[in-house]
Structure 1
């Protein structure tokens, strides 16, 4: 008994057995990639996937973004039947696209739809980074160009949420052509004096940032979003200079006049409603 009173505490942790691990439901919690705080998934979703501890904006899927944005979560999706082909017979490209389709339940890396935001009709496009890292292939470019043309024809605003790693290398020059095609469609909107709002989320890079993502009448970004064309290392090796720590962040671009505003996700819907009201 006396031996038990003077026993030293253990300096090691007990590792749960495999059975205990299996009993814990998968996906009930997740860690913030920035501050490491353990977050309850349901609470994180209620907070629009923004970490309450540090304010880090985690990625949102296209359906989640639309549900949080349009009135009553009601919208009509366009061009859902468009599916990528394999023009270059790129090894395993078809398999990878099919795998992403199964994982995301989407046919491509962008969803375009029509709905109302604060009672104001709008065409909305949302890129989804889960699908080929939101890369811009021929179908992505086609859907965005069609959305812009519909907005011009109906004379209602077009709001596009960008999230992309750039052009899709598996489609070669066909993916690069989408930069010109989407830009031409947006120019048609400009001639018709129809509003285009570009919302840049993390990340928006490569050919997407060099084309439609930067052509908004109003350019908005979420806090901390990575926005740029070439990678940081490539630029530093080219200019042979050390870049600022906040280079290619939304805040850096705002400070240097490349953005109109940086808006936290929780305030984004109200901000868009004000913009739509002003331009109605």
Structure 2
């Protein structure tokens, strides 16, 4: 392979590492002749397309690469992720099992298979696969992040946050770990930490629309005008309504009519505030973010 072609492949890998898949594709498109058929070219192109949510194209590229180069665990891993993203879970499972037949202890393949199981609702199986991966790489951002995903699926918000903090201790700049930490922080009531992590994750993955939307929602929660609503954010609205009505009628039954009326007026004002302010703040933020 010529030196310019090798340099382009290295640049493509660099752009993928820093979350710029479109730049990676630009380098790969400029590869000459046989260099474009190198196994790394297939891997980098498939990965870039997957990161850009062009998963149907990624699947075609990766399958072509496997047809040309034979079973190669990194290609199988990315193909499995692309198939999972397309909702083709049984095919993704087959791909990860093929990879694990080549290397049963590969932690990346184990984690990939675990995520397919999570998507299929097989949480216990996913947890077992994650722990198998942990036996290979116990101090790993990928393992800690996967544990956080399992905790999320089980509804264990505090465990999710603990594992996401562990993931960040291994790699503070990992965007997936940042996104998990942001989500867990929001779920456990730490809106400021949640916004900081989600904003960081969205900035490092500019092509991820879901992350941008999550960061916008976190910024909405952190807006000063939303502070009066924050104490109620983690409660079921129906339960809050029932509680307020119970207080109003309880005060009236106890002979405290004026106090009952005052509380009812305060509650009405709060309800109007909760109906009017969030849509206005969201509209303003969307305009600011160019939506």
TM-score (structure 2 length as normaliser): 0.30
Larger RCO (alpha carbons 8 Å, 6+ apart): 1
TM-score (structure 1 length as normaliser): 0.30
- Structure with the bigger percentage of strand: 1
- Structure with the bigger percentage of helix: 2
Larger radius of gyration between Structure 1 and Structure 2? 2
